[in-house]
Amino acid sequence: MDFHDYVRTSFANTDFLVAPDENRCIRYEFVDIRENSCRNCTVYSPYSPVFDYHIDSWWGNYCDFTARTGGVEDEDNFGFYFTTNSAFSCSFTQTSTTEYWIGGHK
């Protein structure tokens, strides 16, 4: 398994059905964005009625993790892509995609 540009969390840490919140840190089991990574850390993960759930790797100074090294100011990852970075595999080209897998194994 390639863990480059990869994120993993659990429903215990992330409720995808919760009311939108533009200012929230979510706990992830593992995050890798352009080789900036952390384990068991909080990451700025906003969403609202205007934009989809995503990680904003540039901001989130009050969370544990940012991925400014190699980043683009206001870069969006894993979902909503208003500001992209071609160094991030999910927004590398116009045909790149972000895939969500819900479920897993123990």
The pLDDT mean for the chain works out to 87
Stronger pLDDT, 105 or 99, i.e. the higher one: 99
Long-range contacts of 61-70 (CB under 8 A, 24+ apart): 62/25, 63/25, 64/25, 64/38, 65/31, 65/36, 65/38, 65/41, 66/36, 67/33, 67/34, 67/36, 68/36, 69/34, 69/36, 70/34, 70/35, 70/36
Q: Taking the model in full, what pTM does it have? A: 0.86
Delimit the domains of the chain by residue range.
1-14+21-106
Stronger pLDDT, 2 or 39, i.e. the higher one: 39
Residue 28 has pLDDT above 70, yes or no: yes
What's the mean pLDDT in 70-81? 92
